Structure 1
Amino acid sequence: MSKKIRVVVVDDSALVRSLLSEIINRQRDMECVGTANDPLIAREMIRELNPDVITLDVEMPRMDGIDFLGRLMRLRPMPVVMISTLTEKGAEVTLRALELGAIDFVAKPRVGLANGINELANQIVDKIRVASVAHVRRGHQELLTHAMPSGASASTTAAAAPAAPRAAPTLLGRLSTEKLIFIGASTGGTEAIKEILVRMPADSPGIVITQHMPPGFTTSFAARLNGLCQITVKEAVHGERILPGHAYIAPGGKQFRVDRSGANYVAVVEDGEPVNRHKPSVEVLFKSGAALVGRNAYAIMLTGMGNDGARAMREMKDAGSYNYAQDEASCIVFGMPREAIAHGAVDEVLPLDKIAGALLAKLGSASDRLHHRI
């Protein structure tokens, strides 16, 4: 048997620590090597036990989980899965945790804690497994290390982090409104999507996005991005027209695809069945791109575990789209891009920070061709 994944559970609730330990220890490939009821104890435990993954609550005595996460990712970057009631009620906290370097999160149920966590058992251990093989980076957090004033907390400094790169001043106004950009992502995708969108100019083609997220988080995710980008970013609403200069994010817990209404593209948001175990599913969105957008589509597959969207991305390519995948070195988890590449669905494999520029150059050449035809 291969080496077990060693997990430390950090939570101020004795019940939650007991339940999570039991769930972890039931797995053949992992073991809970320690539990801590506050971050200061956890700090010493991590030094002693050198775990592969930690699960971390947000609300704890002496130091909250966000402050602890910020310090941990500066001093000893390691895979962290956030497990907290606050992540569901305050999605902003979850997004801040992901920005600081957490790999993923699980929201505790609002009621019936013991039964609810047991129902979430498969999700919890799946995310621990993914975290154990994820690429953990300092990245943004290294900037905070040098900029953080004495006595400042990671959570307050995160709010004052260096501004995102400004979008390229490319003017694509001559480009046909027929063009659409499709993006799919999962684990690590919130920050990867941000990296793409902040570089898009205000007159970019419409952008449609599926990021694997549960209900209650995508509204805050869209609002957070909208405050950083030149384009308008929003959660998709059923029946609305998909406009240039806008990005539409699939609502958590719903399926999202593109349809046509006359000459316009419109959003379809529906309560369909999970596809590839996901709802929203990249497969659903990309299949609609293959069927309805064809050679006017551009698709991007970003970091994530599994194979959701790989087959549909190949269908998009066969229909004439031009497709990009994030490279392994810049992915948190290379699963989804690897599968798309294996399916022959990808035209270019690029580091995350090069994708938007390559796409804009491609769109610019398409705009020039359109202009010369007019």
Structure 2
Amino acid sequence: MRKKNQISVLIVDDSQSFREMVAKKLVVDPQIQVVATACDAFDARDKILKYDLDLIVCDQEMPKMSGVEFIKRLLPQYPIPVVIVSGNPKIGPEARAVGAMDFVEKPNGVSSKTFEDFLLELILKIRLAVKSRVILPVQKPILQRIENNHIQQISGNGRSSDRLIAIGASTGGTEAIYHILKNLRVDSPGILIVQHIPPVFSKMFAERMDAQTPLQCKEAQSGDYLESGRVYIAPGDQHMRIKRIGVKYRVEVFAGEKVNGHCPSVDTLFDSVAREAGHRAIGVLLTGMGSDGARGLLEIRRKGGYTIGQDEASSVVYGMNKVAYNMGAVSVQSALENIHQHIFTALKE
């Protein structure tokens, strides 16, 4: 029987010995209970219907359907956080881009990682995933998309605005960004996003945001002009900045050296936003490791812009946003679930 406050977990892996070993070892954490195991994605679907689950640990390499495909095809119907495991570390960015809460590399003959190392990391990431309580959304119905397009036409979507929203994030940021975008209005000012993410996966992330939020989202290209209700996500291997042209803002993406260890860099975007938009800008810095974006957020605030930092309790990693808060770059610090409300407030001023 499931105890109060325990995390109920389903383990999905085609290897019976691996399933049994993980299920047996996870009991070392009294807060985790493995309620079921499954041998493939279709077996997992049946278990999802049978059990009340808090999280799924899913192998990437499985017959019939891979872990990434499982997330893309089945989980939009069943909004449960997923941690993908694989012996291939390159799967991590792809898994996160399509909605996995996190990734853990399996021990193999190539790496020095032991099963004990794997288990400790898995336990930590199960706890973090459930703590953040961010889950995959139900796919947006066609009728809702039609209604949103109608609202966009009424509200004048497609027109430029002298207001803009700039968002920066790193570790844990893809789900934090989703949570904000899904709650914004379709007549919101143009939104610029830098998420630390590898190339190719930035396009997948943009496509996911386009499908699962009311806004029109795309991977940014040089020559794009900001329009209301539209979101521009920096390519995974290029910086992004803006240039004010009359009453409009033009997007520029370009290759360059890493800034603060990253390309794209949040600071590169925020610096241009402070310079070109000033008091018309709203800057948002979310969860992430390091300090990228903190200095740029301070510049936005110095130029009269409104700045928001995600708080520690709702962050997967309280790093970039912590540095920004400590240096006085944050107008208001907020839990993730309330950030969209602060954006609404700032837009009324």
Q: TM-score, normalised by structure 2?
A: 0.68
Structure 1 position 97, deviation (Å):
5.0
The answer to whether the 8 Å contact 1:134/1:333 transfers is no
Taking the TM superposition and a 5 Å limit, the aligned residue runs for 1:284-363 are 284-363=268-347
Aligned equivalents of 2:17, 2:199: Cα separation in 1: 29
Say if 1:313 and 1:340, in contact at 8 Å, map to a contact too: yes
**Partner secondary structure for residue 212 of structure 2:** coil
Q: What residue in structure 1 maps to residue 60 of structure 2?
A: 58
Contact 1:301 1:326 in 2 (8 A): yes
CA distance in structure 1 between the partners assigned to 2:215 and 2:98 by the alignment? 21
Shift of 1:136: 3.4
Please state how far the C-alpha of 1:95 moved relative to its aligned partner: 3.5
Paired with 1:327 and 1:135, the residues of 2 have a C-alpha distance of 15
Instruction: Map Cα deviations across residues 101-151 of structure 1 (whole Å, 9 max, x no partner).
Output: x33578xxxxxx999x89xxxxxx9xx69x67983326256xxxxxxxxxx
Q: Deviations over 1:199-247 (max 9, x none)?
A: 1111110100001100111111111111122221111011211212111
Match for residue 191 of structure 2? 207
Determine helix, strand or coil for the equivalent of 1:187: coil
1:231 aligns with 2:233: no
Instruction: Say whether residues 1:196 and 2:196 are aligned partners.
Output: no
8 Å contact 1:283–1:309 — kept in the other structure? yes
| Paired letter, 1:135 | L
Write the distance in 1 (CA, Å) between the matches of 2:325 and 2:137.
Answer: 36
**CA 1:40–1:64 in structure 2 vs 1: closer, same or farther (change >3 Å)?**
farther
Cα distance, 1:43 vs. partner? 2.2
Aligned counterpart, 1:148: none
Q: Which runs of 5+ in 1 are unaligned?
A: 1-9, 14-35, 107-112, 119-124, 142-157, 367-374
Partner of 1:247: 231
Q: SS where residue 314 of structure 1 aligns?
A: helix
Q: Is this contact kept in 1: 2:160–2:227, CA < 8 A?
A: no
> Structure 1 residues 89, 48: closer, same or farther in 2, change over 3 A?
closer
Displacement of 1:87 in angstroms is: 6.4
2:27 alignment partner, SS class: helix
Contact 1:38 1:63 survives alignment (8 Å):
no
Question: Within 2, Cα distance between the matches of 1:277 and 1:313?
Answer: 17
Rounded to whole Å, the distance in 2 between the matches of 1:46 and 1:114 is 23
Residues 90 and 188 from structure 1, CA distance in 2 versus in 1: closer, same or farther, beyond 3 angstroms? closer
Mapped pair 1:137 → 2:130: yes
1:311–1:104 CA distance, 2 compared to 1 (3 A): farther
Q: What SS does the aligned partner of 1:256 have?
A: strand
Structure 1 residue aligned with 2:44? none
Q: How far apart, in 2, do the equivalents of 1:87 and 1:230 lie?
A: 31
Superposed counterparts of 1:1-374, under 5 Å? 38-47=18-27, 57-60=59-62, 65=67, 82-83=85-86, 91=94, 93-98=95-100, 102-104=101-103, 135-137=128-130, 139-140=133-134, 177-363=161-347, 365-366=348-349
Shift in Å, 1:192: 0.6
How many pairs align? 290
SS in 2 for 1:201: coil
Structure 1 CA distance for aligned equivalents of residues 301 and 180 of structure 2? 21
- Classify 1:218/1:159 alpha carbon distance in 2 versus 1 (closer, same or farther; 3 Å): same
Read off the aligned partner of 2:319 and give its amino acid letter.
G
CA separation in 2, counterparts of 1:317 and 1:348?
A: 11
- The 1:192–1:265 alpha-carbon spacing in structure 2 relative to 1, beyond 3 Å, is same
Query: Take 2:272 and 2:109, find their aligned partners in 1: how far apart are those partners?
Result: 40
Measure, in 1, the Cα distance between the counterparts of 2:214 and 2:90: 27
CA RMSD of aligned residues (A): 4.4
